[in-house]
Structure 1
Amino acid sequence: MNLYAVARGKMRAFTNLKNRSLLSIYDPPPAYDSQPCNVIIFGETGVGKSSVVNLIAGDKRAKTSPDAGACTFASNPYHIVLQSNRPFCIWDTVGLNEPEISHDNYLRAVKQAYKLVKELERSGGVHLLLLCMRGRITKSVQQNYRLFAKVLCERKVPLCVVVTNLENELCMDEWWSANKEAFEQYSISADGHACITATPGVGDIFRDRYEESRERMCRLLLDAELKLSNEGWKKDMRTWLTDLLGKMTEMLPLRHRRAGHPTHQEIMEKLVNECGFSKRDATAIAASIGQIRDHTPGGDDGLA
């Protein structure tokens, strides 16, 4: 008998049992005595955001198919209970896959931004951000950080970094020791981190590291939850949406700020037809977006 294999199997069973004690997950959101801790996981397409959600859940709940054609702010909430006094709701977002926001992507983002902001405002605001990335800080990583940490949450929400795809590293944690200075170089402020793998590998070759990564993610959330206030950060929904869409114009290419940018009429029609605003309110919001944009570098032409 292979004693090593037996011992490894027992350790794996113990780890699975321990991890099951760390969490439970619900598909339809149950009724809670308190608001959930809202966590937004974001990052460029293909870094494993949905796989990280499934890692935490211990089950394949989040869809992991390619989301390159989906909208930046498209999101799905997953309700999870860890060993804490309140539940978590993890918002799995599509994120940016390009270093710039195009005219069409901006207009597509209006409806999903409205939906996300409305749900977050209703459910208590944002408590924590998770920046999910592979082992390199690309331009898209920087722009995703800018969009979610700076624009959506105005640098007022704690952020933790989750580095995936480290299953082949001799020691996953050593990645952070070797690369943490790069985050300071790119002005990415992290309140915590987890170096993990989000896949058990073909034939479960990375199963042990996968279970270790699950425990790391649960501990990251639990440790963060101890430092969080009961109320997440939020703004009045209309003000939040206006500021978000206005500041997003800063991320349009300069050529789109001068010509071909989203017009007052285009934004107003999106707000009326897809978000349910009255024409009067939509006109006021579109005008406010134009005012915000007028005060950004290269944006003095306003919304036509």
Structure 2
Amino acid sequence: MSQRKRASRVQPVVASTTKNIVVFGESGVGKSSLINLIAGRSIAATSSGAKGCTFRHKKYELQVDDTPYAIWDTAGLDEGAYGTVPAEIAEEHLKQLLHDLTRANGIHLLVYCVRASRLRKTLLSNYNLFYSAICRKKVPIVAVVTGLENYEEEMQDWWAANETEFAMLKMHFDGHACVTTLDADKVNSPILKQRCHASRRAVLPLIASSCARDRWGTEQDGWVSAALADVRAMFKPPRQNTTQPTPIVALYDLPEHSLDPIGSVKDTSFEGGHLVDVGGSPLLVYRIRDQHLRSGVRFKKQIASRGADLLMFCTSIHSDTGASRRRAAAFHGSYGGDMRPLLVVVRDAPVG
């Protein structure tokens, strides 16, 4: 029996202990072949990627070194709005993927599959789609570069030669692997066989070490609706003279007079919040107090309708640390801190 076939066997796993890994990338970069490499056998059908069926997905359950995984194979996102299928169909597929991930205990790791010879303009859009819009930058992400079977240098040298491409686009990764996804049983060259086996040895530890200890996405209020809204915005055709919505800031416990250092107040009654000018750009600020956290009523409806773009928690250096932490946790939990950035401001702190 070959080394690939002696490796991990596909078998049912217990959902509560399963690590959910989402593999994404452009059509034709080798996502299905990468899944087969991880499994050590052929479990995912490969295709040419000539036709897109955006966001259709399939889950593969397997066990590697006593760790159960569910690998989610997503269809590629081609250039243009939602690829080669109508936007409404693509959105339904995406919605189904997110609901399925929610029922499966959330996401532990994103694997961005990139082909070495195809660093294209969709590189950043796919990254932003899954890492920023869908996972809100809350999930570890790794890059797996495929198609390096004929690379003249060592496969891992590709990253050092090309990582500036990712850095220029401000793309962060928690790890990477440079591989070939060829089936070792179907190649004759000893060098290629060696690269196939080395690729699996590189990918498995990367996945095991990069998976988040706790899954994300299962219990986040409004996760699916917020993700869909951001995806729609990403792929909305540009229009001239289109007015962008005013960014919303949920601001905890900042006194009335302290709004002025942030910006000049234009209208203190706009939609129940304060319209503040910051460097010529408006912000709609909702001031949150302790009683709002206890009641969970005021501003919740306004903010929940679209979601805050930023949370600001203000405290004082003279405040009780334990109490501040409890208030920050309540604020973070009440206003969707797992899906948006949190800025902490400490007042009265010495300068310098």
Normalising by the residue count of structure 2, what TM-score does the alignment of the two structures yield?
A: 0.62
Bigger relative contact order, structure 1 or 2 (CA pairs below 8 A, ≥6 apart): 1
**Counterpart pick for 1:239 among 222, 235, 244:** 222
| Bigger proportion of residues as strand | 2
User: Offset at 1:153?
Assistant: 0.3
Q: 2:187, 2:126 → 1: CA distance?
A: 33
The residue aligned with 2:144 is 162
Q: 2:241, 2:46 → 1: CA distance?
A: 38
1:25 aligns with 2:10: yes
Structure 1 residues 175-190: aligned runs within 5 Å: 175-190=158-173
Q: 2:207, 2:42 → 1: CA distance?
A: 19
The residue aligned with 1:223 is 209
**Counterpart pick for 2:91 among 110, 125, 146:** 110
**Counterpart pick for 2:36 among 51, 54, 75:** 54
SS at match of 1:71: coil
Q: 2:84, 2:72 → 1: CA distance?
A: 25
- Report Cα offsets for 1:205-256 as digits up to 9, x if no partner: 322211111121112112224xx21x31105577222112211122225347
Q: 1:113, 1:238 → 2: CA distance?
A: 18
Verify the 8 A CA contact 2:105 2:218 in the aligned structure 1.
Answer: no
Tell me the percent identity.
33
Q: 1:68, 1:244 → 2: CA distance?
A: 27
SS at match of 1:209: helix
Q: 2:203, 2:84 → 1: CA distance?
A: 36
**Counterpart pick for 2:188 among 178, 183, 204:** 204
| Bigger proportion of residues as helix | 1
Higher Cα radius of gyration: 2
Q: 1:236, 1:124 → 2: CA distance?
A: 9
1:35 aligns with 2:17: yes
Verify the 8 A CA contact 1:103 1:256 in the aligned structure 2.
Answer: no
User: Offset at 1:89?
Assistant: 0.6
Structure 1 residues 1-304: aligned runs within 5 Å: 16=3, 20=6, 23-26=8-11, 30-32=12-14, 34-84=16-66, 86-101=67-82, 105-135=86-116, 136-169=118-151, 170-200=153-183, 203-205=187-189, 206-225=192-211, 228-229=212-213, 231-236=214-219, 239-255=222-238, 292=306
- Report Cα offsets for 1:254-295 as digits up to 9, x if no partner: 347999xxxxxxxxxxxxxxxxxxxxxxxxxxxx9xx759x9
Q: 2:47, 2:130 → 1: CA distance?
A: 22
Are the structure 2 counterparts of residues 236 and 93 from structure 1 closer, same or farther at C-alpha, using a change threshold of 3 Å? same
Q: 1:111, 1:33 → 2: CA distance?
A: 24
Q: Which runs of 5+ in 2 are unaligned?
A: 243-301, 310-352
Q: 1:238, 1:256 → 2: CA distance?
A: 31
Q: 1:92, 1:131 → 2: CA distance?
A: 11
Q: 1:99, 1:157 → 2: CA distance?
A: 26
Q: 1:60, 1:258 → 2: CA distance?
A: 51
Report the number of matched residues: 242
Verify the 8 A CA contact 2:10 2:61 in the aligned structure 1.
Answer: yes
- Report Cα offsets for 1:57-97 as digits up to 9, x if no partner: 1222111123443432111111121114x311110100211
SS at match of 2:159: helix
Normalising by the residue count of structure 1, what TM-score does the alignment of the two structures yield?
A: 0.71
Q: 2:35, 2:83 → 1: CA distance?
A: 28
SS at match of 2:61: strand
SS at match of 1:129: strand
